[in-house]
Amino acid sequence: MQTTKLSLLIKLAANNRNIVRTVVSSNSVTVNVSDQLKPLTQIPGPSSFPIINQLHHFLPGGSLYKIDGFELLEKFYKEYGPIVRLDGIIGGTPALVIIFDAESAAQVLRSENWMPIRPGFHSLEYYRKHHNKSREDSLKPTGLITDHGDNWKQFRSKVNPIMMQPKTIKLYSSALDEVALDMIARMRSIRNDKNILEGKFDIEMNLWALESISVMALGGRIGCLDPNLAEDSPERKLIQCVHDIFKVSDELDFKPSLWRYFPTKTFKRAMNLYDEQQKLAKHFVDKAVKELKTKSKSDEEDSVLEKLLAVDEEIAYIMASDMLFAGVDTAANTIIATLYLLATNQEKQNKLREEVTSTHDKRSYLKACIKESLRMMPVVSGNLRQTTKEYNILGYRIPKDHYLTFAHSYLSMMESEFPRPTEFIPERWIAEKDDPLYYGKAHPFAFSPFGFGARSCIGRRIAELEVETFLARVIENFQVEWFGPPPKITPASLNYITGPFNFIFKDV
């Protein structure tokens, strides 16, 4: 899970910093600054007043009031160009510069790749390091989401060989296919006579996603697809808890809030939610560990959880818990977006069906459909970094410790990067190099759904296998159709597709 919703980062706190005399240029060479670079204050952006800075633009009557998500990014780019300054206000985190230039994104992300600082989820970091914790506890590893520096590096170095190993991930192909087939059966059982699924479609996709990630994180099924699953079951509680956490962290971490000065009502609710999520995750991990202890020895390769436990039991618990936290809403939203785009592009869906029902093992068009979905309807809006040095970006001096965000969701919809960007064209990802649509003609940093480098999404291979497996089974079994207007996307910590979910699933 990479960066968070760009548009809500507009309400960040002022953060004055001293400027030193060197800047890293685009070729990573340190150069003398003198007067050749413009200062941060001259970067274009909404007009600013003393004390309130740019807040008035976002209040009722302001030019940016109730403008959000992609629409906000588009307005920024058209009015101010490829670099935009957003000042902060009291009660938030540091001010922000938004970058709409792929080469500048490459310059920073490559330069910051040794030990990058990726801010976000400050309230979760506070909970894990300080809330009801001793000083000794605050120094312990807390996970890839909330750790930075040496703690993060040591944690990542221990889990990378396991989490990023294709051979290990592919061990779960059959188990994930079993989950997919069970979900297909469930979908058939809850369809009405109009072939529309009864109940909340997004919750159904969350149940599939949690069952799938549990196979990977815990080494087995947890029963999310049980038709008799109670509303107050731990499985449903975890899904709701994770969803609530993303919403409440959006309020605390990416909007003005005074929780850093005193415990607000929202802060107290967040601490309770983090408590509940930790307890629920521990419930599932404890159960999995207990089953592993009674498991008879076999020639099968150890599961991800077994391998992590062999390395470090504390890290194993944290990693499994974070997989259950970060791997549900992200996978569910990705599959919903892809199904919508295929339902509204029937010729592409039919082409995909030909591939997944053939005997060919290589499913290049399946992968292309998912990539195109992530380009058009990404789960997150971009990548965020806190600079560890000064930069020369587009002629402006960016100081050390400043927040930069790279608007990949907008970059990937630029005509200059991806011709016919508003059209769902999976073929661009498998086209020949001389084809005008060939994806390789775009800048490599214009599309970055899983982040970059050392802090790229550690669950990428897992997520790809989950979505590919389920999508193939859905298209194999159903002709997916859509009626009515497009679904609504609600930007928060993630870009949530909130419906209405006007899907029709007809048997093939």
**457 labelled as ligand-binding?**
yes
Q: Give how far Cα 135 sits from Cα of 46, 132, 261, 318, 471, Å.
A: 42, 10, 20, 19, 47
Distance CA 470, CA 177 (A): 7
Token pair 């989490």 in the structure block, residue: 163
Token pair 């509680």 in the structure block, residue: 237
Using CA atoms of 258, 260, 266, 270 in order, give the dihedral in degrees to the nearest 10.
160
Distance CA 254, CA 427 (A): 37
Cis amide linkage into residue 119, ω under 30° from 0: no
Residue type, 384: L
SS3 99: strand
Joined together, the tokens standing for residue 112 give: 């910051």
SS3 363: coil
Count CB atoms within 10 A of the CB of residue 159.
22
Instruction: Give the pairing type, strands 96-99 and 83-86.
Output: antiparallel
User: CB–CB of 21/32 below 8 Å?
Assistant: yes
Contacts of 161 (CB under 8 A, 6+ apart): none
| CA proximity to 1, closest of 450, 428, 453 | 450
Contacts of 497 (CB under 8 A, 6+ apart): 202, 333, 336, 337, 340, 377, 487, 488, 489, 490
Contacts of 104 (CB under 8 A, 6+ apart): 26, 82, 83, 393, 394, 406
Q: How many residues does the chain have?
A: 508
Distance CA 414, CA 419 (A): 8
User: CB–CB of 324/239 below 8 Å?
Assistant: no
| Distance linking the first and last C-alpha atoms of the chain | 34
Contacts of 292 (CB under 8 A, 6+ apart): 219, 303, 305, 306, 309
Joined together, the tokens standing for residue 496 give: 């949530």
CA 195 centroid distance within chain? 31
Largest CA distance in the chain: 73
Instruction: Give the pairing type, strands 495-499 and 396-398.
Output: unpaired
Joined together, the tokens standing for residue 322 give: 């974070």
Write out the binding residues for heme: 457
Write out the binding residues: 457
